[in-house]
Amino acid sequence: MASDRGPNFGLPPLGVSIGLRRPHIAGLLSERPELPFLEFVPENYMDRGGLSRRELLSIAEFYPTVSHGVGLGLGSIDAVDREYLSRLKRLIEETGALWASDHLCWNRADGRSSNDLLPLPFTAEAVRHTGARIREVADALEVPFLVENISTYTVLPGAEMSEAEFVSAVLEEADCGLLLDVNNVYVNARNNGIDPHDFLRTIPAERVGQMHMAGHDDRGYVCVDTHGAPVRDEVWDLFREALAITGPTTVLVEWDTNIPPLDRYLEEAATARAIYDEVTGSPVVSA
Ligand SMILES: [Fe+2]
């Protein structure tokens, strides 16, 4: 069943931007480069008052924001952490974030948490379980909610479907949007032998509300999803293919390790923007 929200999961296609990283906050506030939005990681601010939170709220005064979390563990077996959820909701309200996202993974069992985004089994049971938890989270946050396809280094045994089929089934079960990480599609293609073109053709294009691009470390026998390097040419090619399928959307270039100066980060976004304009031929929409 297709989403009835229209293209881009009903979200405004904001065009291309960068993530909010601590070393750049002062520069963003003083120089205020023209950017359509900024994506922040809520866990960096949820537990903190004082300067960090004030800086984020200052950023949110000048730029539209979206929230991209790493801590919900959407497929975990444990009950959803309602206290965590209420702190996340409060931050989303304070910043006016347009939408929220987290990863299609699990990270918690028996009250213990992992900092890694752990892969889910591609089974019907996991689809039902994860779909129900995503609905619970999205209902509580009261903003549009997207889940991101993660990078993995193996496929768990007992898979009943492909990764693309699993992601698509979860999106329908939860009636949520997809944050399509194009680099993760490429990394998984190399690491797990999936067909990246088939992945892009299989996922429901109308549910893609945002994309991620990032750099990875190609070690030949494995691709490590470092977010610490420029986007590789192979991933730019896949980006073109994804944009041709989805049309205008919102794109974020991630850079989380070996973070470069703001100007270099903006250059990478400009490269993405040039490809975006060329493929979609569509002006961006203001938030
Ligand atoms: Fe990502």
Ordered by where they begin, the domains of the chain are 7-280 (3.20.20.150)
Q: How many CB atoms lie within 10 A of CB 273?
A: 18
Gap from CA of 70 to ligand 1 centroid (Å): 10
* pLDDT over threshold 90, residue 245: yes
Q: Is 189 helix (H, G, I), strand (E, B) or coil?
A: helix
Cα-based torsion angle of the residue sequence 55, 60, 66, 68 in order, rounded to the nearest 10 degrees = 10
111 pLDDT higher than 90: no
Q: Using the mean position of ligand 1's atoms as its centre, give its distance from the Cα of residue 34 in Å.
A: 22
Residue 54 confidence (pLDDT): 92
Burial degree of 73 (CB within 10 A; 0-12, 13-18, 19+): buried
Among candidate residues 169, 235, 239, the one with its CA nearest the CA of residue 207: 169
In the reported structure, the alpha carbon of residue 92 is separated from the centroid of ligand 1 by a whole-number distance in angstroms of: 19
Å from CA of 32 to ligand 1 middle: 24
Task: Calculate mean pLDDT across residues 45-57.
Answer: 85
- Kindly give the distance from the C-alpha atom of residue 148 to the centroid of ligand 1, in angstroms, as a whole number: 7
Mean predicted confidence (pLDDT) in 169-198: 96
* pLDDT at residue 154 in the model: 87
Q: Is 123 helix (H, G, I), strand (E, B) or coil?
A: coil
pLDDT band at 286 (very low <50, low <70, confident <90, very high): low
Asked if the model's pLDDT at residue 285 lies above 70, the reply is no
pLDDT of residue 100: 98
Residues 252-271: tens digit of each pLDDT: 999 988 999 999 999 999 99
Q: Quote the ligand 1 centre to 180 CA distance (angstroms).
A: 8
Residue 67: per-residue pLDDT? 98
Report pLDDT for 51. 82
Residue 53 CA to ligand 1 center (angstroms) comes to 23
| Neighbour count for residue 112 (Cβ, 10 Å) | 8
C-alpha 249 – ligand 1 centre gap (Å): 15
Cα(254) to ligand 1 centroid in Å equals 7
pLDDT at 284 over 70: no
Cα(56) to centroid of ligand 1, in Å? 20
| Cα of 257 from ligand 1 centre, angstroms | 13
Dump the DSSP string for 49-95: -HHHHHHHHHHHHHS-EEEE-S---TT-SSPP-HHHHHHHHHHHHHH
Output the CA 184–ligand 1 centroid distance in Å. Answer: 7
Pairing of strands 223-224, 217-218: antiparallel
What confidence score (pLDDT) does residue 82 get?
93
213 Cα: distance to centroid of ligand 1 (angstroms): 7
Backbone angles phi, psi at 41, to 5 degrees: -95, 110
| Angstrom distance (rounded) from CA 119 to CA 130 | 12
**Is the per-residue pLDDT at 170 higher than 80?**
yes
pLDDT mean over 3-15: 91
Instruction: Name 223's bridge partners.
Output: 218
| pTM metric for this prediction | 0.94
Neighbours of ion ligand 1 (CB under 5 A): 181, 212
pLDDT value at residue 49: 67
Cα(186) to centroid(ligand 1), Å: 12
The mean per-residue pLDDT over the stretch 208-221 comes to 94
> In the predicted model, is pLDDT for residue 283 greater than 70?
no
- The band of 158, judged by pLDDT with boundaries at 50, 70 and 90, is very high
Ligand 1 centre distance from Cα of residue 85 (Å):
21
How far away, in angstroms, is 212 Cα from ligand 1 center? 5
Ligand 1 centroid to 68 CA: how many Å?
9
Average pLDDT of every residue of the chain: 93
